[in-house]
Chain A
Amino acid sequence: MENINLALTLLIAGFVIVFLVLVVLIIVITLYGKIIQSAQKAASKKHGETDKPAIRSVTREEIEEYDSDEIPEEIIAVIAAAVDSLYGSKPHKIKNVKRSRSVRSSWGNAGIAENTRPF
């Protein structure tokens, strides 16, 4: 009987404590998320419109000016998105997208990467 009482107490206490701790975490994370988001929005407003990611300003003509290779627009969009996710809210602008002309084969590059990786 004593053990059953302990089990029921633990069920209620465990349920309440686990939820309580996680609810506290929800509140804290939501709050600091909002604070950081609003601070970052304010900072990006300060930089003005010109500092917006330049994904839309890149046109095929602009790219072809630098590189005659045909790069599909989807690839350019992916590269622009990757650059944007890397720089985030920092002001940045993509001026051109060029296909790299590596003199080494993929195997050569893999070998160099393997041997020069920090340990």
Chain B
Amino acid sequence: MDIFDKLGEIIVNLYNSSGLASLDWQNYVMIVIAFVLMFLAIKKQYEPLLLLPIAFGMMLVNIFPGIMGNPSTQLMTLEQLQAANLDPSSYTTSMLDGITYYNVTENGGLFYYLYQGVHLGIFPPLIFLGIGAMTDFGPLIANPKSFLLGAAAQIGIFITFIGATFLNFAPKEAGSIAIIGGADGPTAIFVTSQLSPELLGPIAVAAYSYMALVPIIQPPIMKLLTTKKERSIVMEQLRPVSKLEKILFPIVVVVLVAILLPDAAPLVGMLMLGNLFKESGVVDRIAKTAQNELMNIVTIFLGVTVGATAKGTLFLTPKTLGIIALGLIAFCFGTACGVLFGKIMCWATHGKVNPLIGSAGVSAVPMAARISQKVGQEENPANFLLMHAMGPNVAGVIGSAVAAGVLISVLK
């Protein structure tokens, strides 16, 4: 009988320590959402490099919330310490009411430590270093007017700021929500870590999810705002850009932006450092590391920990859902403003600019440029807009970093 009692006790203990006893319904909803995101990443291949780690982190934290647990300190008396077979000399002490307590610290979960790179704003500039090392700014140098499209797509950020303010979000929170419209995950994380760190989870998840869902969100807006004739416009080939121009570009940009807007310096500085590694051609090994190993490592850590911020009990709240909805509005506004400015440029150049490249002004490199290419080719199979769209696309990266600098300098 004793054996059966023990067995029953073990089974009860096992059940109590399992997710079945401790998880709420919100956790299960988030697990289902994580499955859907994994499906989109694997089957539909929507930005799988981002979406897969995000979805997996989301699933893991909702099954085992302790993986994001903060480190804790427990106060123990000498007797309790000895009873637990712990060495008193290994711990610092505190005096409370004349009694000596030992500060027994317990480590946090694995993702808690990895998340510090997000929380402290370290990962976003490192991602920008990798993006810079992978980006060819040639199309932008060949056609600097693309910068205007990169700037126009940032208007969505500031329009959403007004919307969030009307919905009673505090100014710093509104700024963090609005930056989702830049469609730039690292920038959104950087701004939020500076302005309202408590919103990092929902904002990061929203920003990265919308970046991954660019192929679904953008085309209907692009088609709605353009005519068939405009979508069929074939653009002139870009001029070749010399190596010297490419080398000077990152130096010139970083000097100007850092002087005019110092708050944008961490992001733009690292972006341009990565690009200088690539274009200088003298630090090939470093450039390759920034493009591959470093970028991949940071992406894994960033992805899983961003996903792990989406704990069901904290995530499925009206406020978070409001942030997600506003983020989508910001993203749509950004796309629409880019396309509308593209139409203005089309009119100003007497039809030489295809307005579809305007939507690439939201960052989301290179997905947004690929969408411009795809939508353009649907109308005219002989039309190759990719390189033309890469100009506004990389301008959008710089533009969203500048917009981030504006938000931080005004709201911080």
Contact = CB atoms under 8 A, between A and B. Distances in A.
Contacts of B241: 33
A116 to B, nearest CB: 14
A28 B245 CA distance: 12
B151 A7 contact: no
Contact of B245 (A4, A8, A32): A32
What band does the interface of chain B fall in when counting residues whose beta carbon is under 8 Å from A?
A: 35 or more
Contacts of B252: 25, 28-29, 32
B398 A118 contact: no
Contacts of B147: 22-23, 25-26
A14 B399 contact: no
B205 to A, nearest CB: 24
A87 B157 CA distance: 43
A33 B260 CA distance: 21
A7 B145 contact: no
B403 A18 contact: yes
B158 A14 contact: yes
B260 A21 contact: yes
Interface string A1-39: 001101110110111011101111110111011001100
B90 interface: no
A60 B79 CA distance: 94
Given A7-B165, A29-B144, 16 more contacts: A3-B174, A4-B165, A6-B171, A7-B171, A10-B406, A10-B411, A11-B161, A11-B162, A14-B403, A17-B402, A22-B395, A23-B147, A25-B252, A25-B256, A29-B252, A33-B144
Interface of B: 140-141, 144-145, 147-148, 150-151, 154-155, 157-159, 161-162, 165-166, 170-171, 174-175, 240-245, 248-249, 252-253, 256-257, 260-261, 285, 395, 398-399, 402-403, 406-407, 410-411
Q: Which 3 A-B residue pairs are closest in the complex by CB-CB distance? A: A7-B165, A22-B147, A14-B158
